[in-house]
Amino acid sequence: MATIGLDRLYYAKITEDDNGDETYDTPMPLAKAISAELSVELAEATLYADDGAAEIVKEFKSGTLTLGIDDIGVAAAGDLTGATIDDNHVLISTSEDGGAPVAIGFRAQKANGKYRYFWLYRVKFGIPATNLATKGDSITFSTPTIEGTVLRRNKLDGQGKHPWKAEVNEGDEGVTQAIINGWYSEVYEPTFAASGGSGE
């Protein structure tokens, strides 16, 4: 079903243990969302045998998340880009900046009034782009955009795989209201029933 809206943009800082496995801080609002564009790059390989394609493998490699936002506060800018806040509460960006990855959550309204919820588990952002224009005969809003690279998570899920995105539709069969209500209280952790198999 098509989506018609976008809101509730949140981020959560990541802490890694000695193995690189992520734990997430409590999610915090990032900014008011205007747009979100997610493009995905796949690693692809084709095995040829008997003069034809015998096997094709496509795996998630990375993605790009471009967010249009109303404004990014100094604290969020520091968390996402590695910029620092000086003693006068001025945000200072340096050539050595490099923000740590964060998790990004948001939701998009569907035509039926319910929402599709997302968590991207590991996104590394660059410096926000700023667009400015002088005031003319008409009012033009200049809003920042911020672009991040979406990566897979280091921590394995219950199937021994590296997730990069969690997505759920409100109202789908089997989706409890508790999942929807708690979507922004913590970054969603995949849950799989224990089994002796490989999960395939």
pLDDT at site 140: 47
- Overall pTM surpassing 0.75 (yes/no): no
Alpha-carbon dihedral sign for residues 189, 193, 195, 199: negative
Question: Coil, helix or strand for 1?
Answer: coil
pLDDT at site 131: 53
pLDDT tens per residue, range 154-173: 998 988 888 999 999 998 99
Pair 22, 164: CB distance under 8 Å: no
Backbone angles phi, psi at 9, to 5 degrees: -85, 120
Checking if the pLDDT of 200 tops 50, the result is no
pLDDT tens per residue, range 70-116: 767 777 777 877 778 788 878 777 766 667 899 999 888 888 888 88
pLDDT tens per residue, range 20-60: 899 999 999 887 766 777 777 766 666 666 766 667 666 66
